[in-house]
Amino acid sequence: MQNFEPQTIDLNFQDTPGVIALYAWDTGDGLALVDTGPSTTLGALEAGLDRLGAGWDDVRHMLLTHIHFDHAGAAGRLLELSPRARLYVHERGARHLVDPQRLYASAAQIYGDRMEALWGEMRPLDAGRLTALAGGETLRLGRAEVRALYTPGHAVHHLAYAVGDELYTGDVGGVRLDPRQPVRPPTPPPDIDLAAWQASAEVLRGLDVRRLHLAHFGSYAQDGQHWDALLTHLNEEAEWVRERLARGTAPAQLEEPFTEWVLEQVESSVPGLAAAYRFASPPAMNVMGLARYWAKQEKKREEH
């Protein structure tokens, strides 16, 4: 098995280290990047490439796990800076990158006047430089064989990528900021799907890989405990929200107690980590996603 050793580039999001990771590795035909980060972190990405002895012209392949702004916001600009690069994304996300107006407007409903400061500009990209994937493909990038794995649950357009014995999980692999912190699920709106996430986790758990590379944040051994913790917390957090919604509590009223509950658990696992976790995966946002999921489930029940 060939070794395509990834290098972690900390995008230092909002001047905070350890929140968003990008992974770069040499394919033998230029660099491959897993995700691009938002436009606001392009400076950190350029500095990270420079530390690797590389620059924009060396980037040839961009593998997007999904099109949320923290993962794909800089895609259009990065293609402009890297004229020989090609971008890969799930087919359900591709059109939103070619014309990101609807995606930007949807995110603006959540982030409001913080959009520009957090994410910056999201430029449309040239459809001719984009390859839309369904999942299940094996890509030949230089010397590397890259397996694109359809892994919905966090997003309907989510892909993970397996390269040799390295697995890039995007967000379906959860948020883990410290080896001592049991992994937890990021569940923002709009399309959290518990059953799909559970199925995706089982697919990734069963892969013969050595390491998991998480966007938030870092690299960990492939082991069952990682996936067990992820699914346990996914189910616990979803049930916490469901039970309180069933009592008639409005989603907005759940944000503060849910945040306290989650951060207490994080802090108990790694003292001093709660603030960083809150920034990396805002619990209030996760309540919004789970509440939306349960509303969809209730609507389905009513329709049947």
Q: Average per-residue pLDDT in the chain?
A: 94
What is the value of pTM for the model shown? 0.94
Share of the chain above pLDDT 70, in %: 99
| DSSP per residue, 66-97 | --SHHHHTTHHHHHHH-TT-EEEEEHHHHHHH
Between 285 and 119, the more confident residue is 285
How do strand 138-141 and strand 130-133 relate by DSSP bridges? unpaired
The DSSP output letter for 15 is: G
Q: What is the pLDDT of residue 1?
A: 35
Beta strand spans in 5-116 (E)? 7-10, 21-26, 31-34, 59-63, 86-90
Report cis status (omega within 30 of 0) of the bond before 217: yes
pLDDT at 3: 53
Could you name the CATH architecture of 7-222? 4-Layer Sandwich (3.60)
Secondary structure tally for the chain: helices H, strands E: 11, 12
* Most confident segment among 2-6, 26-30, 109-113: 26-30
User: Residue 190, preceding bond cis, omega within 30 degrees?
Assistant: yes
What are φ and ψ of residue 87, in 5° steps? -115, 140
Does residue 15 register a pLDDT over 50?
yes
Nearest Cα to 173, choosing from 39, 44, 71? 71
Residue 134: what pLDDT? 97
Both structure tokens of 201: 């986790």
Which tokens is 260 given?
Answer: 């306290």
Q: How far apart are CA 61 and CA 144, in angstroms?
A: 11
Long-range contacts of the stretch 104-112 (C-beta < 8 A, 24+): 106/190, 107/69, 110/188, 110/189, 110/285, 110/288
